[in-house]
Amino acid sequence: MTPVTPSVTVRVPAKVNLRLAVGPAQADGYHELVNVFQAVSLYDEVTVTAARPGQRLAAVTLDGANGEGLSGVPLDRTNLAARAAECLARATGADAAVDIRLSKNIPVAGGMAGGSADAAGALLACDTLWGTGLPEAELSRLAAELGSDVPFALLGGTAVGTGRGERLTPLTCQGVFHWVFALADAGLSTAEVYRTYDRLRPDAPPPKPDPDLERALARGDAEALGRALANDLQPPALALRRELADTLSAGRNAGALGAIVSGSGPTCAFLAADEAHTRRIAAALRDRGACARTVHAYGPVPGAQVLS
Ligand code: C5P
């Protein structure tokens, strides 16, 4: 297939989980979820370029805006972005040989779906580069094959995911919510956090939505949203990384409206009243030495978008 443009860049947001209700493990090892996502203004950029002559596979290169924490990212075909390119090529008959450059801002293995964002970005970028033009529903189906959080990275906004978290329904959300994220030096394995959850909660009930949370979003009520934040993966993340309890209490003491481990962690998310409040929370976290670094972001923002 002839490339439509030689190079395409897609910008993809991170997510924070506003509610992550986790049911018992199913026969396939996955858990049934009620997973409320919000896309936030912390982005990776994925640039795909038509392959050089003789190149046969998708090749991945990296740069990190902060030049740190990228050591856990594979550069071979196991990278989720390379797998996304191959998955789209298989589905459309395109040639999977493509150069993929990842500019990473989203923490690696941080519970903010950075790998899923890169996969969503690669899907959309390759779809544009190759001119395959798949309908949104079909891209979303391929995204779900790559990982439970990948469809949301395409969609963005605020949405609830059921099933494994991949069956999405957008939620009404008014206004802007301001977040501080406390990033850790080392990531946590999502699979290990789920295994620890199974040990701690062998009797987990089926996951349920929370009407209070949905009302808070619909009204743009940050205080009510702060009260409604909930994450069943927080106890196992704290069991694996005890110091996160100090991080959470440092943010709470700084007046955060809500303090929660993001997804499977170790990133902690703090909901602020406004932008000035984010600076006070971040300063308190730094003064306490409660995390490696902080970033401020707001949500909701749109999902993956083509920049060029
Ligand atoms: O779907 P994804 O590959 O992103 O999931 C990463 C890991 O998280 C899985 O290998 C599984 O251990 C766990 N997981 C789960 N139940 C879900 C989603 C993810 O157990 N609904």
Nearest-CA residue for atom 18 of ligand 1: 164
Distances (CA, A) of 49 to 84, 85, 119, 306, 308: 15, 12, 15, 14, 12
Nearest to 143 by CA among 104, 181, 88: 88
For residue 149, the CA-to-ligand 1 centroid distance in Å is: 9
Residue to substitute in 26, 28, 30 for testing ligand 1 pocket (most ligand atoms within 8 angstroms of CB): 30
Question: Mind listing the pLDDT tens digit for each residue in 149-166?
Answer: 999 999 999 999 999 999
Name the pairing type of β-strands 98-104 and 293-299. unpaired
For residue 278, the CA-to-ligand 1 centroid distance in Å is: 31
Nearest-CA residue for atom 19 of ligand 1: 30
Residue to substitute in 35, 168, 193, 194 for testing ligand 1 pocket (most ligand atoms within 8 angstroms of CB): 194
For residue 191, the CA-to-ligand 1 centroid distance in Å is: 6
Nearest-CA residue for atom 20 of ligand 1: 30
pTM equals 0.94
Residues contacting ligand 1 via CB (< 6 Å): 30-31, 33, 147-149, 164-165, 190-191, 194
Residue to substitute in 31, 197, 199 for testing ligand 1 pocket (most ligand atoms within 8 angstroms of CB): 31
Nearest-CA residue for atom 2 of ligand 1: 147
Ligand 1 atom closest to the CA of 146, numbered from 1: 3
Give the pLDDT score at 4.
46
Would you name the residues annotated as active-site residues? 15, 149
Give the pLDDT score at 54.
74
Q: Which positions ≥6 away from 37 have C-beta within 8 Å?
A: 15, 16, 17, 18, 149, 152, 158, 159, 160, 161
Q: Give the C-alpha separation, 271 to 234, whole Å.
A: 16
For residue 73, the CA-to-ligand 1 centroid distance in Å is: 18
For residue 275, the CA-to-ligand 1 centroid distance in Å is: 33
Low-confidence residues of the chain: pLDDT under 70? 1-5, 65-69
Ligand 1 atom closest to the CA of 148, numbered from 1: 1
